[in-house]
């Protein structure tokens, strides 16, 4: 018989993506079935490195499979995920997984019955196996989908960590727009140091220019400098908001008798989120601090087709160098990543999964051909019935 066996929750306890403890007598039973001539196929949601870890785990204990996630070793695992097998052993079946002694008895009894049964019973048995296959496929798809959907899996690795993360403070970059205000007890004294925007008012056909309290913003140049009233050029690139405020206070000491209140704010702190999210767009951050999960929340979260383990972050540094960082939001340790907190002008791109990518190939022309083919088949069927 050809037997497909699940790994997590069936051979070992369910600790995905880690490998749990071996279930009692699981490997010994499978080794006995293999020795009796049954062909064993490992059928699991694991892929790539995690699949290799599962295969190696079994191999070290003397259990080798004919194939893994394939009907035969030479089959491409991307051509089909269906298997042509006689028995499926999976903890996702309806009801609890029996102990491995009972599983061995069930397989032996089934093999005996198939040998003794006639053609009619074989057909019925085949139908039952097909139904079992469909049920297990649904369970497998459900398990696979669930494991790829939740954020922040394996939170123990984060909660057990003793590493203290420093609080994030945004730094000023070239092309940032800054709003800087200087305040003293006497507003007239501070007025020369506040860059105001003059406005023109018309009064009885006479143009008069009046100063309003509308502040003009400072554009940081490519060298990280701004031109500040009275003081002249200031270098603020790479500084935090507090560092820039302290520098301006020091520069103002020769001009003021009291220590002023200086406030520096970033007026264009923006991030962009696009790809498989509900509401892609560019968002302005008022408090100059936002992390990856908050950015996704502002974009309405990922759609069901978004790949949680394949989120790309596009970032440009102060020198204009761009880099793309791959983020895996399934893993809880993303919160300790240096890229968890976003900086101004960051772009998050959520990649679509294979299902969405394949569906995108079906355009209007494909739908038209399908509709035309359906009509032709219907007409042909009608003509056959008429001239029958």
pLDDT in tens, the chain (388 residues): 889 898 988 898 888 889 999 988 889 999 988 998 898 988 888 888 888 999 999 999 999 998 888 887 877 655 556 677 888 788 777 667 788 888 888 888 877 776 665 544 555 555 566 656 566 655 555 554 556 678 888 787 677 777 777 788 899 999 999 999 999 999 999 999 998 876 655 555 555 555 446 788 999 999 999 999 999 999 999 999 999 999 999 999 999 999 999 999 999 999 999 999 999 999 999 988 999 999 999 999 999 888 888 899 999 988 889 999 999 998 888 888 889 999 999 999 999 988 776 666 555 555 566 667 777 777 777 776 676 5
What region, left, alpha or beta, does residue 131 occupy, with left being phi > 0 and alpha being psi -120 to 50 degrees?
alpha
Superfamily of domain 2-148, CATH level 4? HAD superfamily/HAD-like (3.40.50.1000)
Q: How is residue 271 written in tokens?
A: 């991030």
**Distance between CA 44 and CA 309 in Å, rounded?**
19
Amino acid 74: pLDDT: 77
Residue 174 in contact with residue 237, Cβ under 8 Å? Answer: yes
Amino acid 145: pLDDT: 56
The CATH classification number of 177-266 equals 3.30.1950.10
Amino acid 48: pLDDT: 86
The set of residues, in sequence order, having a beta carbon less than 8 Å from that of 231 and lying 6+ positions away, is 193, 248, 251, 252
What region, left, alpha or beta, does residue 231 occupy, with left being phi > 0 and alpha being psi -120 to 50 degrees?
alpha
Report how far apart, in Å, the C-alpha atoms of 275 and of each of 299, 344, 364 are. Answer: 10, 19, 22
For 36-177, where are the alpha helices, taking DSSP H only? Answer: 48-59, 100-116, 119-148, 156-159
Amino acid 227: pLDDT: 94
Amino acid 98: pLDDT: 82
Amino acid 70: pLDDT: 84
Please check whether the domain covering 270-352 is classified as CATH 3.10.560.10: yes
Residue 326 in contact with residue 312, Cβ under 8 Å? Answer: yes
Could you tell me the sign of the dihedral formed by the alpha carbons of 67, 71, 75, 78, in that order?
Answer: negative
Residue 226 in contact with residue 176, Cβ under 8 Å? Answer: no
Domain with CATH 3.40.50.1000 in the chain: 2-148
The set of residues, in sequence order, having a beta carbon less than 8 Å from that of 269 and lying 6+ positions away, is 170, 176, 284, 285, 286, 288, 344
> How far is C-alpha 153 from the geometric centre of its chain's CA atoms?
12
Rg of the Cα trace of the chain? 33
Could you tell me the sign of the dihedral formed by the alpha carbons of 65, 70, 72, 77, in that order?
Answer: negative
Q: For helices 26-35 and 100-116, what crossing angle results, to 10°?
A: 30
The b-or-e profile of 129-168 (16+ CB within 10 A means b, else e) is beebbeebbebbeebeeebeeeeebeeeeeeeeeeeeeeb
Residue 257 in contact with residue 307, Cβ under 8 Å? Answer: no
Q: How is residue 53 written in tokens?
A: 């870890």
Residue 219 phi/psi, 5-degree rounding, is -95, 120
Domain with CATH 3.30.1950.10 in the chain: 177-266
- 139 SS3 class: helix
């Amino acid at each position: 018989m050809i037997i497909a066996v699940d790994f997590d929750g069936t051979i070992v306890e369910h600790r995905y993506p880690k490998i749990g403890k071996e279930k009692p007598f699981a490997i010994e039973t499978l080794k006995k079935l293999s020795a009796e001539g049954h062909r064993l196929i490992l059928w699991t949601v694991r892929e790539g490195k995690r699949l290799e870890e599962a295969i190696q785990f079994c191999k070290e204990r003397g259990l080798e499979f004919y194939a893994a996630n394939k009907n035969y070793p030479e089959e491409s695992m991307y051509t089909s995920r269906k298997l042509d097998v006689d028995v499926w052993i999976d903890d996702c079946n309806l009801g609890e997984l029996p102990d491995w002694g009972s599983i061995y008895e069930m397989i032996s009894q089934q093999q005996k019955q198939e040998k003794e049964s006639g053609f009619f019973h074989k057909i019925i048995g085949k139908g039952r196996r097909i139904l079992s296959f469909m049920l297990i496929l649904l369970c497998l798809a459900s398990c696979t989908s669930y494991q790829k959907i939740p954020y922040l899996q394996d939170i123990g690795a984060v909660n057990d960590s003793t590493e203290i993360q420093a609080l994030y403070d945004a730094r000023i970059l070239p092309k940032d727009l800054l709003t800087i205000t200087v305040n003293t007890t006497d507003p007239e004294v501070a007025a020369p140091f506040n860059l105001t925007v003059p406005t023109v008012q018309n009064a009885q056909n006479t143009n008069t220019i009046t100063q309003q309290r509308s502040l003009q913003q400072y554009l940081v140049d490519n060298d990280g400098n701004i031109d500040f009233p009275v003081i002249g050029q200031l270098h603020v690139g790479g500084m935090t908001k507090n560092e820039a405020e302290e520098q301006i206070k020091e520069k103002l000491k020769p001009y003021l008798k009291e220590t002023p209140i200086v406030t520096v704010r970033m007026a264009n702190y923006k991030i962009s989120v696009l790809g498989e999210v509900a509401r892609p767009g560019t968002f302005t951050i008022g408090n100059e601090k936002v992390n990856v999960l908050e950015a996704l929340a502002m974009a309405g979260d990922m759609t069901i087709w978004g790949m949680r383990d394949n989120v790309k972050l596009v970032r440009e540094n102060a020198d204009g160098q761009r880099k793309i960082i791959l983020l895996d939001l399934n893993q809880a340790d993303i919160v300790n990543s240096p890229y968890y907190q976003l900086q101004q002008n960051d772009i998050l791109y959520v990649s679509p999964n294979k299902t969405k990518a394949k569906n995108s190939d079906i355009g209007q022309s494909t739908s038209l051909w399908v509709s035309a083919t359906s009509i032709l088949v219907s007409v042909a069927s009608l003509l056959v019935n008429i001239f029958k």
